[in-house]
Amino acid sequence: MNEKKKVFREPLTDNQLLMTITICIFVGMYVLAILILKGGFLHVQQVFDMLNDNASLIIVACGLTIVMITAGIDISVGAVTSLVVMSCVLYLNKGGNIFVSILLALGIGLAFGAVQGFLVSYLDIQPFIVSLAGMFFARGLTTILSVNPQKVEHEGFSKLMDTKIVIPWLGYTAKNGNLVPARLELGVVVALLCVVVIFIVLKFTKLGRGFYAIGGNQTSALMLGINVKRTRFFAYVLCGLLSGISGYVFMMHTGAGNATNAAGMEMNAIAASIIGGTLLTGGVGNVAGTFFGTMTLTTIKKIVVSSGLNDPWWQSITTGGMLCFFILLQSVVLSRRSKKKE
């Protein structure tokens, strides 16, 4: 009898606890938004819009989560995204092939990931500095490619861009009586696919468990026979690859390249990962949490905009406030748990 009770009351891990908090807060906030600001939040399209706008952020945040689980950081992701967009746009405008442009995007991402991963894991340089250099390099290259904004003028790509998944039964009736079907961009599918794949990789593969192991304690991971250097290298390569994918998705959303594209995306991605329950110290994190973190961040912004606080400072101040709230909450929860354990 007693034993049964014990099994039943097995506590959540830090990982699950932080993710549960995030999901609860996301749902709570969304319900609050529906109750207070009735209008748009009732429509499915609102969620779809949030996904459409943030597909590339979700992908980047997933990559960053992997790196943060290994106790590293990569702040070059936004700049790499911008570089990928610019180079793909220029390539397509010269009459390139769509398939090759995808390969180009993945190649740029992989190259950045591989070089940074090599510098961090094999040469033992601080990840912050390496990725800072990566960020400078990618931003610099973007402006070298073109200072002026470039629009994609490529028939095939325009078709790809306009391809949207239309779900009529999730739509709503507009004021003039027309039925507006719910639209989902292809990029969102890619983003969700990335989340699922990375979730599986982190949960069920040797490599994924290795990420958690070296993030939790590098020395004991080494003792367990994990190739720490190679595992860390792959974390950065994956992150780079995801930045490449994110760049392509960004281009499918905006259809134009600009030197200031994805400015500040790295910080948004870090914030999303943190809200999703990833700890910068490593070993704790989950891409599902990151996904909900991104959605929470977006919901905050949507709520601020739709509640009429249109002044530009409100968005960042409320985002900062929410971030503060989440960070404090996590810290308090984790410290109380560690005290209980003692």
Q: Does 260 bind other proteins (CB under 8 A)?
A: no
Residues 276/295/188/304 CA torsion (nearest 10 deg): -150
Q: Which stretch binds other proteins (CB under 8 A): 6-14, 59-67, 128-136, 210-218?
A: 128-136
Amino acid residing at 119: L
Q: Which of 16, 324, 336, 337 binds other proteins (CB under 8 A)?
A: 324
Beta bridge partners of 256: 151
Q: Binding to other proteins (CB under 8 A): which residues in 293-312?
A: 312
CB of 95 to other proteins, least distance (A): 26
CB 19 → other proteins: shortest distance, Å?
A: 17
What is the separation of C-alpha 124 from the centre of its chain, rounded to a whole number of angstroms? 26
Q: How far is the CB of 280 from other proteins (least distance, A)?
A: 4
Choice from 12, 31, 144, 165 touching other proteins (CB under 8 A): 144
Burial class from Cβ neighbours inside 10 Å (0-12, 13-18, 19+) for residue 84 reads buried
Contact 315, 304 (CB under 8 A): yes
Contact status: 141 vs other proteins (CB under 8 A): yes
Q: How far apart are CA 333 and CA 340, in angstroms?
A: 11
Q: Which is nearer to other proteins, 102 or 222 (CB)?
A: 222
Q: Of the candidates 26, 61, 23, 46, which has an alpha carbon nearest to the alpha carbon of residue 249?
A: 61
Question: Between 175 and 341, whose beta carbon lies closer to other proteins?
Answer: 341
* DSSP run (H or E) holding 116: helix 98-117
Q: Which residues bind other proteins (CB under 8 A)?
A: 73, 119, 122-126, 128-130, 132-137, 139-141, 143-144, 147, 259, 267, 270-271, 274, 279-281, 312-317, 319-321, 323-324, 327-328, 331-332, 335
